[in-house]
Amino acid sequence: MHVLATPIEYLKGVGPVRSELLKKELRIFTYEDLLMHFPFRYVDKSNIHLISNINDTLAYVQFRGKIVRLEEKGLKRSKRLIAYLRDSSGEIELIWFKSIRWIKANIKLDKEYIVFGKPSFYSGRPSLVHPDLDIVDEKINDQRGLHGVYSTTEKLINKGLNSRAISRIIRNLIPLLQNNIDENLSKELIDKYRFPSKQDALINIHLSKDLKELEKSQKRLKFEELFFLQLHLIKTKIIRNNKSIGYSLLHLGDNFNNYYKDHLKFELTNAQKRVIKEIRLDVKGDKQMNRLLQGDVGSGKTIVALLSMLMAIDNGFQACIMAPTEILAQQHYETISNELSEMDININILTGSIKTKARRELLEELVNGDVQLLVGTHALLEDKVKFNNLGFVVIDEQHRFGVAQRAKLWKKNKYPPHILVMTATPIPRTLSMTLYGDLDVSIIDELPPGRKEIQTLWRSDSSRLKIIRFIREQIKIGRQIYIVFPLIDESAKLDYKNLIEGYDSIVREFPLPDFQVSVVHGQMKSEDKEYEMQRFVDGKTDIMVATTVIEVGVNVPNASVMVIESAERFGLSQLHQLRGRVGRGANQSYCVLMSGNKISSDGKIRLKTMVDTNDGFKIAEVDLKLRGPGDMMGTKQSGILDFKIADIVKDNKILVYARKEVESLLDDDLDLSKSENINIARFYRPYARERMGWSRIS
Ligand code: ADP
Ligand code: MG
């Protein structure tokens, strides 16, 4: 057995109790797992400060001195232990609110200590709360230098495994590793970038002597992590493009041509034309297409989807489009049915609310091939849904679909259908490289002509009357209004109350019979939602009061004002999506962001960004910086963006060159069979096997 595979309980300082906890709490089972448990930050303990020199610019300080006095102050919850530490320059208070008895019993008044902590100031007087204490002894050298801080948990801390204790057991591990860590980069790469060896990098990440050494090691480990992910993504893509057989949609037949010539109500934008050509080129061949279509809200993705599906139908295949919500599916169904109303195509819709008998009939028509174009929600993924010959799948607003779910759809066929994934949230390049590194990407970077830039205003409660007047004016000239309340968690009672109160006051401000107000929220039955939504779509109501259920996709060109209540509570991409609901027609449109006065600094940045720009890509960049990639893409659970050390926002330069290196490596040695790439190949094989488990593409 490789030493790294040794169960963690065999390590000095661990034992059976701690090993159980390490397994449960941190999923550390083996030596290797522990080795890969990197510090999440470092503190520099190389300087010893003088107590008299302390000032509030130092994040952490370290003193060397003796504790001269102990004192307990306060009662019950304000009870605290104060130790007075003195060095040659002065005195400082060390304070504990917890474990008072234990600390008191263990502090030795005659010994010299190294004390480390974060200084705080109460009425100008400095103190250290819950500092680290180490008695100065012959091991003093271990206590100095850079110290890693490890993530741990409450339960582990209770068994004595705080960050420092984890650091200590890692120190026991390091000597066992000598010459047991296999290099996984080629000599060429190591030389080119002057990387330390993998072994040195792993040791330094835990026990660095200085910052330079640490940074080199971090860089190497980040590179390595991004390199292998890119290697996997690009290799998968190349192999799939070379091998994966797909249905050839060779002909452009009557459906595509007739629709394009006779029924398309507008001229396509150049960007739409370009994307359709890209898709056409893909599906003509005999390889399966996997394409990501990025286009800002309102850029006209639906028509691209429709034309693509017609290509499939022209070649005798079925096509489907999957939307994340029932309302959206419904809207797609209506749009598509409308567009194709004069053509002879059998279109149907499958959602969760379609009842047993109708469903049974539909499923039968689907499996015998009568239904040519199916619109649906997640319901399409159920095992019972079987197509006759599914040739083309469109997935709209994809990031709401889980990874595993997507894979399911393409298991329904002999060959996988062509896949077009459409996202309305533009994705920064570094992120799409990682998340969709294995997809081909098309971008619609142009809005249909004649759109007026949406004006975005940020207002507080004091402007409410003005806003109400403005809304009345807009309704008077025939426009419709959205008013959106946050309902982040559809079951949150408080949010629900806010919505209902908001609705009541809106109805008071906009009374019948002059005004018609609709309301849609998550606690309504889906038929009722549908009904209310439909009334708004048909122009029968003036105001739509809603939660974020309208967030994605809904298309009402006559709506010209989007008011977002408690806008500071929404994420940037949500705000951008919501704003995208207006400005869809020829009218000047407005987005009003209502906020309270107490807003976090991130909240302010979000609202200011919205006021400053309509550009979805710029907004996405800010969003990525604020939220980090996992949250932004809703992929936190999926594991795709779980990096040990790399951060695709901060390390995007490393990502870009890792990707370049991967591309030139694969150009030269696609199956990694050349001897100079043996290190890479040896590491990659098990890596790829593990990744396949959650790969998006089967
Ligand atoms: P999204 O990309 O957000 O899904 P849609 O496909 O819903 O956008 O399109 C938004 C609106 O723009 C729709 O009303 C659609 O009919 C219209 N549209 C799409 N393409 C064009 C075009 N080339 N010229 C004019 N209007 C267009
Ligand atoms: Mg859309």
**Are 419 and 480 in a shared domain?**
no
Measured from the alpha carbon of residue 581, the closest ligand is 1
How much is the average pLDDT of 340-367? 92
**Are 518 and 387 in a shared domain?**
no
* Reported pTM: 0.67
**Structural domain ending residue among the three candidates 98, 119, 144:** 144
By CB neighbour count within 10 A (0-12 exposed, 13-18 middle, 19+ buried), where does 200 fall? Answer: middle
In a domain, 620, yes or no: no
Answer yes or no: is the C-beta of 654 below 6 A from any ligand 1 atom.
no
Say how many Å lie between the CA of residue 352 and the centre of ligand 2: 20
Residue 691 CA, chain-centre distance (Å), reads 19
Name the token pair of 586: 């020829």
CATH (domain of 264): 3.40.50.300
Answer yes or no: is the C-beta of 335 below 6 A from any ligand 1 atom.
no
What is the C-alpha separation between 530 and 524, in angstroms, rounded?
Answer: 10
Name the token pair of 423: 């996202």
Cβ–Cβ under 8 Å, residues 632 and 623: yes
Answer yes or no: is the C-beta of 426 below 6 A from any ligand 1 atom.
no
Q: Computed from CA positions of residues 624, 626, 629, 635, in that sequence, does the dihedral angle turn out positive or negative?
A: negative
Res 323 pLDDT > 80 = yes
Helix 270-284 × helix 301-314 angle, to 10°: 30
Answer yes or no: is the C-beta of 652 below 6 A from any ligand 1 atom.
no
In a domain, 130, yes or no: yes
User: When comparing pLDDT for 364 and 439, which is higher?
Assistant: 364
In a domain, 291, yes or no: no
User: When comparing pLDDT for 639 and 415, which is higher?
Assistant: 415
Answer yes or no: is the C-beta of 555 below 6 A from any ligand 1 atom.
yes
Answer yes or no: is the C-beta of 328 below 6 A from any ligand 1 atom.
no
pLDDT digits (tens, 9 = 90+) for 470-509: 999 999 999 999 999 887 555 566 667 778 888 899 999 9
The amino acid present at 547, given as its one-letter code, is T
Measured from the alpha carbon of residue 321, the closest ligand is 2
Answer yes or no: is the C-beta of 616 below 6 A from any ligand 1 atom.
no
pLDDT at 697: 39
Concatenate the DSSP letters of all residues of 487-546 into one string: -SSTT-HHHHHHHHHHHHHHHHHS-TTT--EEEE-TTS-HHHHHHHHHHHHTT--SEEEE
Answer yes or no: is the C-beta of 186 below 6 A from any ligand 1 atom.
no
**Are 259 and 333 in a shared domain?**
yes
CATH (domain of 110): 2.40.50.140
Q: H-helix or E-strand containing 82?
A: strand 80-86
Concatenate the DSSP letters of all residues of 309-353 into one string: HHHHHHTT-EEEEE-SSHHHHHHHHHHHHHHTTTS---EEEE-TT
Beta carbons within 8 Å of 445's beta carbon, 6+ residues apart: 271, 295, 299
Residue from 584, 587, 589 to probe ligand 1 pocket by mutation (most atoms less than 8 Å from CB): 584
**Structural domain ending residue among the three candidates 579, 613, 647:** 613
Say how many Å lie between the CA of residue 327 and the centre of ligand 2: 12
Cβ–Cβ under 8 Å, residues 560 and 481: yes
Closest ligand 1 atom to 396 CA: 4
How many Cβ atoms from other residues are within 10 Å of residue 112's Cβ? 15
In a domain, 400, yes or no: yes
**Are 500 and 412 in a shared domain?**
no
pLDDT at 198: 96
Among protein residues, the one with the nearest Cα to ligand 1's atom 12 is 300
Res 369 pLDDT > 90 = yes
Of 612, 348, 580, 586, the C-alpha closest to 484 is 580
Tally of structural domains, the chain: 3
Among protein residues, the one with the nearest Cα to ligand 1's atom 10 is 298
Closest ligand 1 atom to 557 CA: 14
Say how many Å lie between the CA of residue 300 and the centre of ligand 1: 3
For residue 540, CA distances in Å to 514, 530, 535 come to 12, 14, 5
The amino acid present at 662, given as its one-letter code, is V
In a domain, 153, yes or no: no
pLDDT digits (tens, 9 = 90+) for 227-277: 999 999 899 888 877 777 888 898 888 899 999 999 998 999 999 999 999
**Are 495 and 608 in a shared domain?**
yes
**Are 273 and 407 in a shared domain?**
yes
Answer yes or no: is the C-beta of 300 below 6 A from any ligand 1 atom.
yes
Measured at the CA of 179, the angle between CA 178 and CA 183, to 5 degrees, comes to: 125
Name the token pair of 651: 């390390």
User: Picking from 27-31, 228-232, 290-294, which range would have the lowest pLDDT averaged per residue?
Assistant: 290-294
Answer yes or no: is the C-beta of 377 below 6 A from any ligand 1 atom.
no
Eight-class DSSP state of 200: H
Say how many Å lie between the CA of residue 264 and the centre of ligand 1: 11
pLDDT digits (tens, 9 = 90+) for 556-601: 889 999 999 999 988 898 899 889 889 888 889 999 999 988 899 9
**Structural domain ending residue among the three candidates 591, 613, 635:** 613
Res 534 pLDDT > 90 = no
What is the C-alpha separation between 454 and 582, in angstroms, rounded?
Answer: 8
**Are 396 and 483 in a shared domain?**
no
Q: H-helix or E-strand containing 50?
A: none
Res 212 pLDDT > 70 = yes
Closest ligand 1 atom to 295 CA: 2
Res 400 pLDDT > 60 = no
Beta carbons within 8 Å of 467's beta carbon, 6+ residues apart: 459, 563, 592, 594
Answer yes or no: is the C-beta of 303 below 6 A from any ligand 1 atom.
yes
pLDDT digits (tens, 9 = 90+) for 166-189: 998 999 999 998 888 999 999 999
Say how many Å lie between the CA of residue 321 and the centre of ligand 2: 11
Measured from the alpha carbon of residue 295, the closest ligand is 1
**Are 382 and 466 in a shared domain?**
no
**Are 266 and 414 in a shared domain?**
yes
Q: H-helix or E-strand containing 444?
A: strand 440-444
What is the C-alpha separation between 326 and 323, in angstroms, rounded?
Answer: 7
In a domain, 89, yes or no: yes
In a domain, 204, yes or no: no
What is the C-alpha separation between 260 and 609, in angstroms, rounded?
Answer: 38
**Are 526 and 579 in a shared domain?**
yes
Eight-class DSSP state of 263: I
Residue from 296, 299, 302, 614 to probe ligand 1 pocket by mutation (most atoms less than 8 Å from CB): 302
Say how many Å lie between the CA of residue 404 and the centre of ligand 1: 30
pLDDT digits (tens, 9 = 90+) for 43-88: 777 788 899 888 777 778 889 999 999 999 888 878 899 999 999 9
To the nearest whole number, what is the mean pLDDT of the chain? 86
What is the C-alpha separation between 494 and 465, in angstroms, rounded?
Answer: 24
Among protein residues, the one with the nearest Cα to ligand 1's atom 24 is 448
pLDDT at 698: 32
How much is the average pLDDT of 509-523? 89
Answer yes or no: is the C-beta of 448 below 6 A from any ligand 1 atom.
yes
Specify which residues 294 forms β-bridges with. Answer: 423, 443
Of 652, 242, 219, the C-alpha closest to 433 is 652
**Are 459 and 608 in a shared domain?**
yes
In a domain, 263, yes or no: yes
Beta carbons within 8 Å of 575's beta carbon, 6+ residues apart: 564, 567, 593, 606, 607, 610
Name the band, by pLDDT with cuts 50, 70 and 90, for residue 401.
Answer: low
Residue from 260, 266, 272 to probe ligand 1 pocket by mutation (most atoms less than 8 Å from CB): 266
Concatenate the DSSP letters of all residues of 365-378 into one string: HHHTT---EEEESG
Say how many Å lie between the CA of residue 229 and the centre of ligand 1: 36
**Are 403 and 491 in a shared domain?**
no
Name the token pair of 386: 């079987």
Residue from 395, 425, 443, 555 to probe ligand 1 pocket by mutation (most atoms less than 8 Å from CB): 555
What is the C-alpha separation between 306 and 394, in angstroms, rounded?
Answer: 9
Name the token pair of 494: 């408080």
Measured from the alpha carbon of residue 270, the closest ligand is 1
What is the C-alpha separation between 647 and 298, in angstroms, rounded?
Answer: 31
Distance between first and last Cα of the chain: 33
Measured from the alpha carbon of residue 396, the closest ligand is 2
Domain range holding 61? 47-144
